[in-house]
Amino acid sequence: MDAYYLVFDMGTGNSKIAIVSSQGKIIGSRVIENHYYRDENYPDAQYFLPQEWETRLLWMAEELLREFSDIKIDAITASGARQSVVLYDAAHVACMGLPNIDNRGRQWMDEIGGKQEIYKRTGKWVTEDFIAAKLMGFKKKYPQDFSKISKITSLSEWIGEIFCGEIFIEPSQACETQLFDIIDMQWSERICKAYGIDPRILPEIQLSGSKLGSIKHSQLQRFSLGPDVVFIIGGADTQLAAKSSQCTDGDIVIISGTTSPVVRIHEEQYYDPDERCWVDCNIGGKNYLVETNPGVTGLNYQRFKEHFLSDYSYEELEKKYAEKTGFPCTASFTSLLFSRQKSLKMGGFVMKSPFSADCDITDLAWGLLSDTACAIYNQYLSLCNMIPFERDYIRCCGGGFRSPTLCQFLADLTEKDIILLGDYSQASIIGCADVCNEYFASSRSTEDSCITYQPKVRKGIQQYYEDWNKNRLMLNE
């Protein structure tokens, strides 16, 4: 008999609340657009108000549960975007949130010493991306407000606090603070000192898949939940998405959405002296993810379609791509040269002049999709240069892989089978279901839901990649 879970999937642009079965079937869902405010005291800072988000999230959850009132919920859990933080005041009330798109710490990064050692201990470069920098920037401008912070936590664990009243953090999210030593698996007082952060505001570490206390009686009543419903700790969305692919040590997983992390599941902590990668704690803290990332990918394609091809469905575009026999242009809009720690500021389409009469708007869309494939392949090669990879398949998940063209392009470039399991487009939600299944000692069957794209011999595909790479570098000289 299936169990059912209420999942909060906290993203950057929007958040989703879903009811999902233990077999990975999404019964129903609601989507909420995340609202942010700009902080004009910084060149590039945004924040959100947790109380506002909580009100909307719980109202949507109530609505969803009323619609499916015949479903008995067995557990609640949450996934959350990485590099986002919720701040608690002296009364332990969530008073402010700093999202991953907040860059308030950027101007003070040169003050941080010992960058090489910090990278070695945290697996992350010293940049404004991580929570330590956001906290440092907040303290610089608002020292009095900063002094009132009693605790911090991540987006996913904030949901746990709403339901259970306990403030904690999972290793997959703790490593995104840049205050967590991924070798010793504990908070680092030395790194806290470098950023001017009081270690006492850092929460207790608790592991994904374990029960978090008891759900508040008021929440059980509000949502008409039984007394045996438990909150099960989830974690970071990327790690949960990777888990949904049923990966094991040594696998490479690509999670393609707004961005497209390329990760290697690694049993032991990995250190690259050339600092070409990030190293993340996996959920449960049992192993690691060695990560490279091409930056913005799927968002480019989505925006282009919305502005220029709104009359086409994605399926109609796929039919157009299947008819194409040549490559009239290359596109360059992916945003990172990850191994060089460099953002790509210039992008565009490159083609021969004069403008070809055979080139139409769908060729440009195809170029954007190819840009995503080539950028992912570029990061895959970088990862393989660090840690050789000999398996004949790559596990993939995320909404970007709803495009058969992208899947086949990657299979052809990597010369590996591309494997998609179950509802791969909702990977972080399915990963949450898998975590809950482990708590209840059950499992999800994927025998009938595996899609495999095998490499095909396609004339010119490697030459196209070389042209794409050359043109991208030319645009950013």
Q: Residue 24 — left, alpha, or beta (φ > 0 → left; ψ -120 to 50 → alpha)?
A: left
Name the pairing type of β-strands 37-38 and 46-47: antiparallel
Strands of 104-206, DSSP E: 151-153, 168-169, 180-181, 186-187, 204-205
Architecture of domain 4-237: 2-Layer Sandwich (3.30)
Residue matched to tokens 């021969």: 352
User: What is the third-level CATH fold of 247-420+447-476?
Assistant: Nucleotidyltransferase; domain 5 (3.30.420)
In this prediction, residue 357 carries a pLDDT of 84
In degrees and rounded to multiples of 5, residue 68 shows phi and psi of -115, 55
**Tokens standing for 30?**
């609601």
| Per-domain residue ranges of the chain | 4-237, 247-420+447-476
Name the β-bridge partners of 38. 46
Average pLDDT of 389-409? 96
Q: Do domains 4-237 and 247-420+447-476 have the same CATH topology?
A: yes
Residue 188 per-residue DSSP state: -
Residue 265 per-residue DSSP state: E
Confidence of residue 369 (pLDDT cuts 50, 70, 90): very high
**Tokens standing for 156?**
């996913």
Q: How far apart are the first and last CA of the chain?
A: 59
In degrees and rounded to multiples of 5, residue 69 shows phi and psi of -65, -15
Residue 3 contacts residue 75 (beta carbons within 8 Å): yes
**Tokens standing for 385?**
């240069």
Q: What is the pLDDT of residues 355-366, one digit of tens each?
A: 988 899 999 999
**Tokens standing for 7?**
């999942």
> DSSP readout, 97-121?
EE-TT--TTGGGGGG---HHHHHHH
Residue 45 contacts residue 31 (beta carbons within 8 Å): no
Tell me whether residue 226 is exposed, middle or buried, using C-beta atoms within 10 angstroms of its C-beta: 0 to 12, 13 to 18, 19 or more.
exposed
Q: What is the pLDDT of residues 325-350, one digit of tens each?
A: 888 999 999 988 998 898 898 999 99
d(CA 440, CA 3): 9
Q: What radius of gyration, in Å, describes the C-alpha atoms of the chain?
A: 22
pLDDT at 448 over 80: no
In this prediction, residue 358 carries a pLDDT of 83
Q: What is the pLDDT of residues 178-219, one digit of tens each?
A: 999 999 999 999 999 999 999 999 999 999 999 998 899 999
In this prediction, residue 326 carries a pLDDT of 84
Confidence of residue 7 (pLDDT cuts 50, 70, 90): very high
Share of the chain above pLDDT 70, in %: 100
Length of the chain (residues): 477
